[in-house]
Structure 1
Amino acid sequence: MLIYFFVLLAAGAAALLARPREAESRWAAAFLILASLGGAASWLERAGQPSWARALELLNACLTPWAVLMFALVWSGLFLRPGTIRRGSAGSGESGRRGGLSGEERRSAGSGSRGNRAHGVSARGPFVALALLLPPLASIGEALLRGGGPDYGLLLVWTAPYYLAACAAMILAVLREAHPLKRRSRLIMAVITVPTLLAVLGLINVGRAISPDFDFFRYVSLFIVFSMGAAVAGLFLYGVLGIRLRLERDPLESAMRAAGLGASMLNHSLKNELGKISLASELLRRELEREEVGREPAASGAENVPATARPPSAPAAVGAEPLQQIQRSASRMLETVERLQTQLKAIRWQAEPVRLPELLARAAERSAPLAAARGVRLMVRTEGVPHVVLADPFHLEESLVNLLANAIEATPAGGEAALGALRLRRRLLIRVDDTGGGIAAERPAQVFEPFYSTKSGRMNYGIGLSYVHQAMRMAGGSVRLQPREGGGTRAELRLPLLGGQSGEEETR
């Protein structure tokens, strides 16, 4: 029994310490710690402390169902403020400026993304929690007045609805979740929790209501061992309640993080110095303009000569062009540093309804100047493209611009780069084809490493494919480069199609 007590107590402490500011973590810790009191009560009973044992059993039997139901409501997203939007999601901040849809279109196209709402408790949360606490307090008061332990027949009246509602909320959360990675995480938590809750309801509450001397623990312990085993496996494989144990960090993720830190430091240092250069050159330009305006005409009658016909003064003629070069160089360096910073910082994929044909057109429009400069035909094929999909418009567009830049730079003059998309059952496939020399024979994973590049151009930083790889990883998708039939390279982005997305099904 003490092992049961310490295991659940440790699990509750871990859930609380990992994410103390998250409501779901606090409620998880509460129900685990309250559940652990059952093990302590049994040990105290055997140790000859019946009074303490009854007190802990009473708290365990009355408060655990309440804490379990509160955790399930908060964790499932059913216990939220109406209309709450996750910080940084569609309609606010950055993604509100990235091409979202109207409210009506968002509701129709994003019906499957209801699981993307915030995880904050609603303003009425404390009142609901107190209302749900009334039956447990009534049962505790009845037991104290009676001077005995919990009455499991009376408890069954309200604990059965509490446990069943908690299980239903968790199952519903799994079914409602649209994002594949989040659905997997919710499914793991439901597998860990729901069977054991049903076992506790049937073997403890129902069993003891029928037979108070029923020995439940040897049966419930099997479910507890199952839940603990599933929880440990989930911690190592996918994570539980935001906690994940990893024996080895993903090398590519570590490289991106280190590169992002270096880019942040470079960005901070260079921005300060370049800002000084830009400010000094601007002040000098204004000073030269003031000197030219205040200079008197050198020759008599010059006041009758139009200003446009006068030759520029010597200082202005000598200083104007170098100042412009300084300002242009400073601007280019700032753009370079900001580009590095943008593509190396941590990516948060925030899905929202997006008009895919318009997004493809924007990516092609941004790539058109480069294609024109290199004499490459840029084609956009929108036949059969799903009209509306759930994706992060900013990161998806940036990924396509990077792939198009690679395709255009690899294609000789007179060649072609093409962008298109289609639906393959439950996945969205976006292709970027080129007619260049084909993919090199490097190791496939190496081309996705930050700062790795086979190109010698001065604007090639070797971060484009690393950025695309990380964006697709956060989206639950993948990126693949492969030789194309007839020559050239094909880059493919595969993204999960979530519930409520439109588009024609392609049969294969």
Structure 2
Amino acid sequence: MNLFYILMFLSMWTMGVVLLVFNRKANLWISLTLLTGGMASFAFSIHLTIIPFILPRGWLSPAFSSFLYELSVAAMTVYFYLFPFTACMGALWLGAVRSIKTRALISILLFIPAVLIWGHHYRNEPWASFEISHFRMWAGLYFLLSFVLYGIAFKREKEFYTRKNKKRVGVIFTLGTLFAFVTDFVGFRSLTMREWSFELESNGAWKYNVIVVLGLVAVIIFYLVKNGFMGIKLRIEREKMDVSMRALTMGVSILNHSIKNEIQKINYLTEKTTGYIHSGQSDKSLQSMEQIHSVTAHLLDMVGRIKDKADDIVLSETQVGIKEIISAVLQPMQPLLESRSIRVAVTLEEDGELICDTMHLKETLSNLVQNAVDAMDTEGGTLTLRTVRAKRYFIIEVADTGCGIPKDQLAKIFEPFYTTKKNPYNHGLGLSYCMSVMRKHGGKLTIASAESERGTTVMLHFPIQRFVVPSELSIYTPSTPVIRSINRF
């Protein structure tokens, strides 16, 4: 069992060094938390494992024995007086405070009590004797502050994947430091280290540290391999190259994809307007021209917002009515829907407002509606938009009665540049872009059903926290007769 203490500090130190080497600037304090947290198991390993191994073999000279003894005492001192401080700093520098200058100032202020407590021990107590009650309260305050700072860092993060990473880090280090505090800073009463023995007054819970620490290290390794941890991913280099190449071209291609959709609407409206003018229907021609203006305004807005790369989508969030979004998506597409004899049904089982990026959500819904229109033949069909409130998500469904998606293609449709449409104007980026937008909102996009020749249902899942129910809901009156609205209150 004593061999596990060696494995314990080696695993913590290895993880600390790996994080430090791969991203020193971002991971400095997290690394120091792991390094200082491993000091206690290092000190106990010397006493319980290393000395019992080398002593019978005659390898322990007086000078070497003295060196190992002083090293173990120094390691225990670092653990008791610096580990709570570094744990607090790891949470602070994870992003709880945005200003670097403010972080530095807080770091200095929090370092002073740690130094003073250690100075008191050095002046008034034996070097190798630790009375835990003298610094238990301060350690508890540092750990408590670290828990609060981890929570603040997680709450302040808006980017979806970084937020998930900070949540993982916060949970892992909060559990680890909490257990360390309970077993070592509360469970210990006093510790006196001698050459080669030690007197420890405790409740014995420290012996279970090895199980918790090795378990948390295993969790960190799991996330390193699966999703990445603190900016590190153990992935095949080829996959990284693929992602980089996609990022270089995704933004321009998405822009081309959006322009293509809008030009189709403008072409149809232009032809329609020309017909109205030749037939002397000036009122209808003015209405068509207003629709053209709406399409071009949307296109200009899209051009102004799309970044150079797809992963540079930046949300500008507002609170907007769900009816307003759906109406804004369907109204510019009305001419296209009429030309294809497509009936539209809008069923609002749950009405209210969404906290979202209005422009990107409109573009996402426009892509899904355009896909639905393309999937239905020239004889027409039915396009259904439905809203549903589930336990964890607010859902917007887009369903069609088109040709569906073959099962062998379902796994590929979200890949950039993959398309089932056999024409040079489709780049296979609509669903990829929609997926990126939903991830930025902390949600997801799923295909609920896509049976061949039986239509497709796509679902946008928004975290339920983004759904706001107004105190009073107005009655929805469709702006065009093709939309049928069903409100269930």
2:173 paired residue number: 193
1:396 paired residue number: 361
Give yes or no for the alignment of 1:214 onto 2:217.
Answer: no
Separation of aligned partners in 2, 1:56 and 1:476? 46
**Code of the aligned partner of 1:17:** V
1:37 paired residue number: 39
Deviation (angstroms), 1:68: 0.8
2:283 paired residue number: none
Q: What is the 5 A alignment of 1:280-429?
A: 345-346=310-311, 348=313, 350=315, 352-355=317-320, 356-378=322-344, 381=346, 383-411=348-376, 412=378, 414-429=380-395
Separation of aligned partners in 2, 1:27 and 1:153? 26
Number of aligned residue pairs: give it. Answer: 393
Deviations 1:266-309 (A, max 9, x none): 99xxxxxxxxxxxxxxxxxxxxxxxxxxxxxxxxxxxxxxxxxx
Q: TM-score, normalised by structure 2?
A: 0.66
Separation of aligned partners in 1, 2:457 and 2:402? 12
Give yes or no for the alignment of 1:27 onto 2:29.
Answer: yes
Deviation (angstroms), 1:137: 0.6
2:66 to 18, 36, 48: 48
Separation of aligned partners in 1, 2:244 and 2:79? 45
2:137 paired residue number: 157
Q: Percent identity over the alignment?
A: 22
Change (3 A) 1:455 1:158: closer
Separation of aligned partners in 2, 1:498 and 1:182? 20
Change (3 A) 1:260 1:40: closer
3-state secondary structure, aligned to 1:432: strand
1:127 paired residue number: 105
2:260 paired residue number: none
Deviation (angstroms), 1:348: 4.3
**Code of the aligned partner of 2:66:** G
Deviation (angstroms), 1:66: 0.8
Change (3 A) 1:445 1:373: same
Change (3 A) 1:51 1:394: same
3-state secondary structure, aligned to 1:362: helix
Q: What is the 5 A alignment of 1:165-244?
A: 165-167=145-147, 169-170=149-150, 185=165, 188-210=168-190, 212=192, 213-214=199-200, 218-244=207-233
Deviation (angstroms), 1:425: 2.8
Separation of aligned partners in 2, 1:451 and 1:176? 34
Separation of aligned partners in 1, 2:246 and 2:153? 37
3-state secondary structure, aligned to 2:229: coil
Two-structure CA RMSD over aligned residues (Å): 4.3
Change (3 A) 1:26 1:359: farther
Range with greater deviation from structure 2 (382-391 or 60-69): 382-391
1:87 paired residue number: none
Deviation (angstroms), 1:405: 1.1
1:145 to 123, 135, 138: 123
3-state secondary structure, aligned to 2:394: strand
**Code of the aligned partner of 1:451:** F
3-state secondary structure, aligned to 2:446: strand
Range with greater deviation from structure 2 (7-16 or 443-452): 443-452
3-state secondary structure, aligned to 1:235: helix
Structure 1: runs of 5+ lacking an equivalent: 81-119, 268-333
Deviations 1:425-471 (A, max 9, x none): 32122222334344456432233344333434443233223333444
1:480 paired residue number: 447
3-state secondary structure, aligned to 1:69: helix
1:99 paired residue number: none
Separation of aligned partners in 1, 2:253 and 2:423? 21
1:433 paired residue number: 399
3-state secondary structure, aligned to 2:137: helix
Separation of aligned partners in 2, 1:401 and 1:493? 14
**Code of the aligned partner of 1:34:** T
Separation of aligned partners in 1, 2:45 and 2:407? 66
Separation of aligned partners in 2, 1:364 and 1:192? 46
Change (3 A) 1:60 1:370: same
Deviation (angstroms), 1:159: 1.1
Separation of aligned partners in 1, 2:380 and 2:252? 41
Give yes or no for the alignment of 1:16 onto 2:34.
Answer: no
Separation of aligned partners in 2, 1:494 and 1:205? 48
Structure 2: runs of 5+ lacking an equivalent: 52-64, 193-198, 255-298, 471-486
**Code of the aligned partner of 1:36:** G
Change (3 A) 1:170 1:447: closer
1:58 paired residue number: 77
Q: Is the 8 A contact 1:450 1:462 kept in 2?
A: yes
Change (3 A) 1:418 1:205: closer
Q: Is the 8 A contact 1:27 1:70 kept in 2?
A: yes
Deviations 1:186-228 (A, max 9, x none): 5543553334323322332234434642286633222222221
Q: Is the 8 A contact 2:349 2:386 kept in 1?
A: no
